[in-house]
Structure 1
């Protein structure tokens, strides 16, 4: 449930290695056709990533992007290879045609599938940059951790508690964050690793000089000890109400990860430039409820209030506040661009913002306020989690998406989304059935029995597994039903 735009961890596109963040050489049998190689890189790059971003690319970045383009083309070609053919000359199946000559299929791909290859290139490029950044951050952390820190002072005594109590029994998932100045991030990182290991917790904790953001799961005993330890640490000054809890446990996460990052929620904005201290006014759940009630009572007549969902489209699709504005963004790092492109929606308006636990609103409201177009900017304190504790049958309808193996939790019986194939009411996510695809699919039991388990037409095609992509046709927030469904 940590607010970091998590979907099940993506594997890397063809040729990109997780260990090094580097792109492997092109396979010998994937020589690129002249038509693809001769594309106007400047024009094509601008089409894919936009004029604003293209101007910001340095020469090394452009070289990396060009290599990603070539690797993505190679991956697309490999995905269309017809493996059912008898031994002999290779062939490729695409768009209902069979291509028996390498160059002929490359020309077809370059002319017809430019947009799809562009999306894969963008994904590969973003993943490469992310790997390089994580490597740099890890290296800095390793350098600072050369001298181990003594964190025993802040580790609770558990001699009176059995391993059985820490490992087995009913459990919880905790979600929390705290913005504060953290000078020695490597010391806090070492403490968190030792603390979570001792309590047998799983989940993820993000640390930065601007604070801490975590979601952990474990037994009731373990999570209680964790909260006590967090509250006892003088740096964070946390209270019990700062933790959002839900039923779960260590089984809700695959493992425990603690790391140091630039931001505790990945917005893509330097915390030194856009500080959480510029955030909007915090409203308690009762106050937020009254504001939403007044908004709904007004209807469309003289309405000067915008109820803004700061989450991603796969979250708002299965649950949201009545009459909200839900941006079609896949990651929170796209939120600034959404605001920039839609300033008129917020001009001279009062904005009520909300997210899962409150952390995205801290930075999101700060960014919106920096544009100086709104009359007022408010945010739901504690997020949807705290609102549902107070108003389980309130104005938030449907399920609450969470960033762990559960995918969603609920407080009411409303189903506001539907199966992407047949359109019947359905709101339970499952992973796309295509190997290596990390998208989530709303596919009802009947459609799943019929084999309709892929997230989009591209993933349904033979060989789609080799794309290993983080983005595909369904990630624009408006998934399309395959024609053969």
Structure 2
């Protein structure tokens, strides 16, 4: 099967009905850069390419015979990657041409400008105030990489939308997309999701892209919506290291099998690294077995961590994961840019989606979240200890010192003894009278905890 036939064959077998035609029409000039749909099409291209090589019970390619799916998949990934990319682009071009000629595809209404935030508001005239402010609640976590030409207009819309639905939380908007976690009643979050999916800029999103957990508006002190350079603060210009260069996505089932294989083979002398790209205080209370968890305090330290540990990743297969998947998009792109790894994969949907399917899988302990809950639980394992007595404990609280924002693991017994600070320095400050000269100025995170931890650790396996 030649390239032209293969490209056409992909289009024949592609479930075009599952892709919203409005996306193609609305963003036809940007469609090739819409990661989710391009990735979906690429998987179809890859599968069709592999199927074209099968003769009887064997696959034949490059004058070699392959007896099992994993070997032919690995061969195609390593040898024919450029060809797959070219075929995907060709198939994509054909899809765009068909969409353009399809009379059934309609434009979005243009009688009102998209900048008008009120135009994209859900109708809540039939919803009582009680349903928006009382009743069962939840927190939703999501992100979407897409082109946003004027982030400030999306910020205005988000502010009005969340306020109208009585939602609290944090939303970051940038030219590269949107990242949010908001809480409220289930009625309100359902309306919020519906509004997001109805907006043409975010039409590429699906319901399953919104991760939900128990909670509500009380999980956040207020609502913060802002425009930023990055939707996840890695500290690297997204125009230089883009999410479009990220590693390959693995569904939770695929990631589970990879981890299972790694644990079965043993971590010693393995050519695979299971990499946690979260901060140390997140991985401390929950992580995958046999993972490499960098001792970093901020995600903006991750690029420097990679640079300092390149030899660690050289010629290795990397399985990367984070809370919801967003940090892996940029983190894996940065790792890929170094051209040292054999392969780079990331867990699609992050730990959150994995635990929904495998609550008793290979991730043990709590899942840290960035709100006033601090963590959510999917299993009963406690993998961390009290900072003072060493007993099993995984419930974070802020350091009791007035101006310290470090998190501390101090069990109930130790807290009753007054051991509520993150370190001896803060504990001494806690015993000083409030408002004294020595405690009157703000030195955020200036304590023993900060100074004792190297900013960029060098790891060994």
Tell me, yes or no, if the aligned pair for 1:330 and 1:475 is still in contact at 8 Å. Answer: no
Q: CA deviation at 1:152?
A: 1.3
* Distance in 1, Cα, partners of 2:232 & 2:378: 26
1:308-347 matched pairs, under 5 angstroms: 308-347=275-314
8 Å contact kept, 1:434–1:465: no
**Aligned equivalent of 1:364, options 323, 331, 346:** 331
Which secondary structure state, in structure 2, belongs to the residue aligned with residue 174 of structure 1? Answer: strand
**CA distance, structure 1, for counterparts of residue 128 and residue 416 of structure 2:** 45
- Structure 1 unpaired stretches of 5+: 1-146, 480-485
Counterpart selection for 2:412 from 445, 450, 454: 445
446, 453, 460: which one aligns with 2:427: 460
In the other structure, the counterpart of 2:167 is 201
1:473 has 2:440 as partner:
no
Deviation at 1:473, TM superposition (A): 2.0
SS of the aligned residue for 1:235 comes to helix
User: Residue in 2 aligned with 1:412?
Assistant: 379
Q: Provide the aligned C-alpha RMSD in A.
A: 1.7
Bigger relative CO (Cα 8 Å, ≥ 6 apart): 1
Aligned to 1:391: 358
Q: Is the 8 A contact 1:330 1:476 kept in 2?
A: no
Q: What is the distance in 2 between the residues matched to 1:397 and 1:464?
A: 39
Within the candidate set 329, 336, 348, 1:381 is matched to 348
Shift of 1:276: 0.4
The equivalent of 2:176 in structure 1 is 210
Output aligned runs, 1:177-188, within 5 Å: 177-188=143-154
Query: Could you tell me which residue of structure 1 aligns to residue 256 of structure 2?
Result: 289
Contact persistence 1:275–1:366 (CA under 8 A): yes
Distance apart, 1:472 and its partner CA: 2.7
TM-superposed CA distance for 1:185, in Å, is: 1.0
* Secondary structure in structure 2 of the residue aligned to 1:459: helix
The 5 Å alignment of 1:46-445 reads: 149-237=115-203, 238-445=205-412
Deviation string 1:268-326 (CA, Å, 9 cap, x unpaired) is 00011110000000000000000000000011454100000000000000000000000
Distance 1:203 1:439 in 2: 21
Structure 2: 5+ residue stretches without partners: 1-112, 430-437, 455-461
- Structure-1-length-normalised TM-score: 0.67
After superposition, give the CA deviation of every residue in 1:428-448 in whole Å (9 maximum; x if it has no partner): 001101112111100001111
Q: Tell me the SS of whatever aligns to 2:195.
A: helix
Structure 2 counterparts to residues 4-83 of structure 1, below 5 A? none
Residue deviations 1:198-229, cap 9 Å, x none?
00000010000000000000000000000000
Shift of 1:230: 0.4
Superposed displacement of residue 458, structure 1: 1.4
SS in structure 2 at match of 1:317 = helix
Question: Distance between the aligned counterparts of 1:476 and 1:161, measured in 2?
Answer: 52
SS in 2 for 1:221: helix
Distance 1:435 1:281 in 2: 44
- Change in Cα spacing, 1:440 to 1:309, as seen in structure 2 (3 Å) is same
Q: How far is the alpha carbon of 1:377 from its aligned partner?
A: 0.1
Secondary structure, counterpart of 2:244 in structure 1: helix
CA deviations on 1:88-110 (whole Å, 9 max, x unpaired) are xxxxxxxxxxxxxxxxxxxxxxx
Residue 250 of structure 1 and its aligned partner are, at CA, apart by 0.3
- Residues 476, 303 of structure 1: CA spacing in aligned structure 2 closer, same or farther, 3 A cutoff? farther
Shift of 1:457: 1.6
Q: Distance in 2 between matches of 1:478 and 1:182?
A: 38
CA distance in 2, matches of 1:464, 1:452: 18
CA contact (8 A) 2:425 2:447 kept: yes
Other structure's SS at 2:169 match: strand
The structure-2 alpha-carbon separation of the partners of 1:339 and 1:161, relative to structure 1 and needing over 3 Å to count, comes to same
- Relative to structure 1, the CA distance from residue 418 to residue 477 in structure 2 (aligned partners, 3 Å threshold; closer, same or farther) is farther
Partners in 2 of 1:388 and 1:465 — Cα distance?
Answer: 44
Number of aligned residues: 333
Q: What per-residue deviation string (whole Å, max 9, x for no partner) do you get for residues 105-125 of structure 1? A: xxxxxxxxxxxxxxxxxxxxx
* Cα distance in 2 between the residues matched to 1:271 and 1:458: 39
Does the aligned pair in 1 maintain the 2:274–2:319 contact within 8 Å? yes
Q: 1:465 to 1:282 in 2, by over 3 A?
A: farther
- Shift of the alpha carbon at 1:466? 3.7
Structure-2 separation of matches of 1:229 and 1:247: 21
Residue in 1 aligned with 2:60?
A: none
Deviation at 1:461, TM superposition (A): 2.0
User: How far 1:148 moved relative to its partner?
Assistant: 12
TM-score (norm 2): 0.70
8 Å CA contact retained: 2:267, 2:290: no
Are the counterparts in 2 of residues 279 and 362 from structure 1 also a CA contact under 8 Å? yes
Contact map agreement 2:169 2:181 (CA 8 A) in 1: yes
The change in CA–CA distance for 1:281 and 1:471 in structure 2 (over 3 A counts) is: farther
Aligned equivalent of 2:25: none
